[in-house]
Structure 1
């Protein structure tokens, strides 16, 4: 049994007023529905407002830490649970991820539960080092797991002109279509027009409120929004910073990525103080993941394809792992192979080659390190490949993995 971590921290309480307001608004849903059915149908439209604003109030109460009550006490992290001042806050199995959030009010650690709608745990710590120590003890730091975040809609980070380009064409089309339907069906067109208006509202709602899903690994980050996915390797990020901007009269917060060739990518986090703290936490996690990925191992040319067919490449990797090298090629120690797998700055093909070479040992520690490397990766292709290697894929499956990570038509360049 490992020694528990003990640390003096402050627990930040959720804002009960806002959470109570959210529940009160939700409590009005059934009365409004009944009133709409029994008294006047327009009253039922209030249901939408109660559900939406109730959810917003509850989320604010759960996540806002500005001016919240802080209770000092001793934090104790054991092998099974997290406790504060003698009260159990959560089982370790209930926690999904953690983030260190530096801000004007001090350094916070936010621990998110696996249930997305549960209230996160906020702890105020003395320093960023203390926060990272908590994450390491829980196995939630960048070395052990990738962060899965939900931030504001990508739409909120777009320039005003781009927003209008997405909003106006459907609006104009709906108005023109409504006029046409009203002219063609003067007495029976109302239901069709209502359906068109509802479809327009659904479109606008999806643009504004669909969150951007973000995964931050040690090799980069991947964004997903409305079916669109993009992987941004850390090697292409020249700089990043927390930003505050005014778009369409609204103050937006987030993180700005400056990429190669002058491209900028905005990761919006919101408009309130929650947006500020989440932007700071997002920037801190990106910095932590970048630092974690810089292990400094150089890729051995022995592990690269070098124009070889997949089967020949696979045999060379097996030989490297078995320490069977010719007189001009030094053997590659097992630890060097595993460090290369874990080096997020290394070439993906070299990392996969090192993983295959390392699996000749077939011990539990090697497989576990491969699984951890897959878990902390943001690259979908690399993550799937490492998982398959750790699970003991067949020779034919490994050849497919090699062709996928370094296709034959590009292999001649030697990468």
Structure 2
């Protein structure tokens, strides 16, 4: 039925366009035909969409910073802060939000929806413990020039007695870089500080935190920081994207 409706919609659209051109030229006798072809095109297009819509696949990516839902050419991001819980309604995954309508993702069946709900719940429950306020404040740029800010961030671990004897500070920074609810500036600063300690395991953990992001801009910014540099352009793009989502 969808293909049949589509086969009717395409030629009727072309014919309606041709009739509209003739009507604009002052040939009023085409208006009656256009009045018939126009509704036919609308009805056939709607019928094609309703019939073919279930065949269009949906891609769901689950990250520490939220969910990315892509369908056709449309991409929707649901930040972690907007996810109050997940559930299953028939063959659909339902993402509850504190305000506004829930986000519904249609799946192939109830089993797949339940599996996705468990996976999202695990991702939300697996967040690191919140870092102390002092650790977060030390990561803020606070209007400082990029070079000065980077130097201060890198010094957070170097001023201690070493990476292995600064476990609390290092753990605080890991809590920041792995927390999807923390804003990009702090996550990037924490990544740069951890990269400066020279421990391969620390850099690997930071890269893993970056790969867990569904936001490409945030992932790039954290990966650059994992190499010891703070890319101001990449960070600005991630911050702008976060503000737009908020």
Q: TM-score, normalised by structure 1?
A: 0.43
**TM-aligned CA distance change 1:297 to 1:261, over 3 Å:** same
Kept in 1, the 8 Å contact 2:64–2:180? The answer is yes
Aligned twin of 1:348 = 184
Aligned twin of 1:297 = 131
Q: Deviations over 1:48-77 (max 9, x none)?
A: 9xxxxxxxxxxxxxxxxxxxxxxxxxxxxx
Tell me, in whole angstroms, the C-alpha distance in 1 between the residues paired with 2:168 and 2:129: 17
Q: Deviations over 1:367-407 (max 9, x none)?
A: 110121112222322222222223x26x4x63333333446
Tell me, in whole angstroms, the C-alpha distance in 1 between the residues paired with 2:70 and 2:157: 37
Pairing of 1:217-256 with structure 2 (within 5 A): 217-244=63-90, 253-256=91-94
Count of residue correspondences? 206
Kept in 2, the 8 Å contact 1:320–1:332? The answer is no
Q: Deviations over 1:132-154 (max 9, x none)?
A: xxxxxxxxxxxxxxxxxxxxxxx
**TM-aligned CA distance change 1:403 to 1:315, over 3 Å:** farther
Aligned twin of 1:358 = 194
**Displacement, 1:173?**
7.0
Structure 2, gaps ≥5 residues long: 23-40, 161-166
Pairing of 1:312-391 with structure 2 (within 5 A): 312-323=148-159, 333-390=169-226
**TM-aligned CA distance change 1:286 to 1:352, over 3 Å:** same
**Displacement, 1:212?**
1.0
SS in 2 for 1:256: strand
Tell me, in whole angstroms, the C-alpha distance in 1 between the residues paired with 2:140 and 2:189: 7
Tell me, in whole angstroms, the C-alpha distance in 1 between the residues paired with 2:210 and 2:83: 21
Structure 1, gaps ≥5 residues long: 1-47, 49-166, 185-195, 245-252, 325-330, 411-415
**Displacement, 1:174?**
4.5
**TM-aligned CA distance change 1:263 to 1:306, over 3 Å:** farther
**Is 1:209 equivalent to 2:42 in the alignment?**
no
Q: TM-score, normalised by structure 2?
A: 0.69
Q: Deviations over 1:104-159 (max 9, x none)?
A: xxxxxxxxxxxxxxxxxxxxxxxxxxxxxxxxxxxxxxxxxxxxxxxxxxxxxxxx
Q: Deviations over 1:172-210 (max 9, x none)?
A: 67535447879x9xxxxxxxxxxx9xxx79x74864422
In terms of fraction of residues, the more strand-rich structure is: 1
Tell me, in whole angstroms, the C-alpha distance in 1 between the residues paired with 2:17 and 2:233: 55
